[in-house]
Amino acid sequence: MTEIFTGSFTQQEPIPEAGIEAAIDVLRHGRLHRYNTAPNEISHTALLEQEFAATVGAKYCLAVASGGYAMGTALRAVGVKPGDKVLSNAFTLAPVPGAIASVGAVPVFVGVTESLTIDLDDLATKLDQARVLLLSHMRGHICDMDRLMAMCDGAGVVVIEDCAHTMGAAWDGVPSGRQGTIGCYSCQTYKHVNSGEGGFLVTDDPHLAATAVMLSGSYMLFERHLAAPPKEAFADLKYTTPNISGRMDNLRAAILRPQVQDLAKQCARWNERYYALEQGLRDTPGLTIVERHPKETIVGSSIQFLLLDWASAAVQDVISRCAARGVELKWFGAREPVAFTSRYDSWRYAPSTPMEASDRILAGVVDMRVPLTFSLEDCALIARIIRSEVSAVYQLSAESVS
């Protein structure tokens, strides 16, 4: 009997009851804007910033409208101007080059390795082309941060970390987002905390933090922040920094606060599911597991594997066969972007040149969400389905060659 998976790859867990109750309270009093507070009241947004800063060990935190806005704000804060070049990953999602384009800058794409991390050898050849690296920890894969930071510090390149997929992850015990000058995070529905949209920016630099607060649209209300620098840091900035409004509101902050408190527990649950899937896929003929570095503490909210050097038609056959059995896989090798999946050569607003080694890897990247609504039994079933269909297509391909 052919096994079928009937669950949903887009169904999230419900918002915690504490978040629902806090959100209802905000709706009842109507003070959704972060600076609209009653006398002696501290807004949910200010409290959330303080709590998230403590979670990742940052001095300063700013809650904003999206992870993409956080990245654009970070780029503006470090002084990226129109026409500047910014280094970034070839393997990432569209909001990363989009943030670079939003400030009028030009991405310089750096290749990807079979570990799905930025190619540090390729980065070494391009470090002299820009003074900022917007580093995407794409799909939760963290590169050798010791080597990367030594390279960038030595070249005077500022590192901004895109941690949309690594909130709760770490490299050698250091929380993701805390090695670079600025860390940016997402609270979009499919990330590790869920407010529909939203994001965070963290840093230990008071000037950059104050600049980001002003850019986000604080007007002259920056003293209402609990996780911002003292008012002296705003002395000149408050007159010279444009307001590019992108504040988080109290409704989303109310929803997020209990989720931030539960982050470590949720990350552990994701990893149980990730490793169950990984174990089920190991030793599948033709399938390459993406091995994780021992210094990397992961959050397995998605899983990737490689079908390296497969013909495009064969990969598409795997995708279609799995879909027919209820398993939704995404493929980064398609020539045309599909849903969230796109490639560095898809973004025609950003110039690029072919990268043969990276193109080979991207042609084999298969991606799958791992919602917490999946049980461990679900993960075992999904792994059996993928293993079965990959093996079948691999065998057919081998027979056609012989």
**pLDDT score of 336:** 84
pLDDT mean across residues, the chain: 96
pLDDT 10s digits, 194-224: 999 999 999 999 999 999 999 999 999 999 9
Question: Rounded CA gap, 61 and 307, in Å?
Answer: 40
- Please identify which residue in the block is written with the tokens 């799958």: 368
What global pTM score does this model have?
0.96
List where CATH 3.40.640.10 sits in the chain.
17-261
Average pLDDT over residues 9-14: 96
- Taking residues 372-394, report their average pLDDT: 98
- The whole-number average pLDDT for the span 186-190 is 97
What is the Cα gyration radius of the chain? Answer: 22
Does residue 353 register a pLDDT over 70? yes
Q: Are 231 and 222 in contact (CB under 8 A)?
A: yes
133-145: pLDDT as tens digits:
999 999 999 999 9
Chain segment 232-266, per-residue pLDDT in tens? 999 999 999 999 999 999 999 999 999 999 999 99
For residue 57, the model assigns a pLDDT of 98
DSSP 83: T
398 pLDDT band, cuts 50/70/90, is confident
Q: Where in the chain is the domain with CATH 3.90.1150.10?
A: 263-401
From 95-99, 184-188, 335-339, the region with the lowest mean pLDDT: 335-339
Percent of the chain with pLDDT over 90: 95
Binned at pLDDT 50, 70 and 90, residue 1 comes out as low
Q: Which pLDDT belongs to residue 340?
A: 86
CB 80 within 8 A of CB 289: no
285 or 342: which leads in pLDDT: 285
The pLDDT assigned to 337 comes to: 85
Nearest residue to 325 via CA among 374, 382, 266: 382
Q: How far apart, in whole angstroms, are the C-alpha atoms of residue 390 and residue 304?
A: 14
pLDDT tens across 34-70, in order? 999 999 999 999 999 999 999 999 999 999 999 999 9
pLDDT per residue as tens digits for the range 21-37: 999 999 999 999 999 99
Q: In the chain, count H helices and then E strands.
A: 13, 14
* CATH number for the domain running over 17-261: 3.40.640.10
- What is 263-401's CATH topology? Aspartate Aminotransferase, domain 1 (3.90.1150)
Task: Tell whether the model's pLDDT for residue 401 goes beyond 90.
Answer: no
Residues facing 118 on adjacent strands: 112
**Is the pLDDT reported for residue 106 higher than 80?**
yes
β-partners of residue 331 are 366
Look at residue 402 in the predicted model and tell me its pLDDT.
Answer: 58
* Residue 251, amino acid: L
Are 179 and 149 in contact, with CB atoms under 8 Å apart? yes
Query: 151-176: per-residue pLDDT in tens?
Result: 999 999 999 999 999 999 999 999 99
Residues whose CB falls within 8 Å of the CB of residue 4, separated by 6 or more in sequence, listed in order: 325, 326
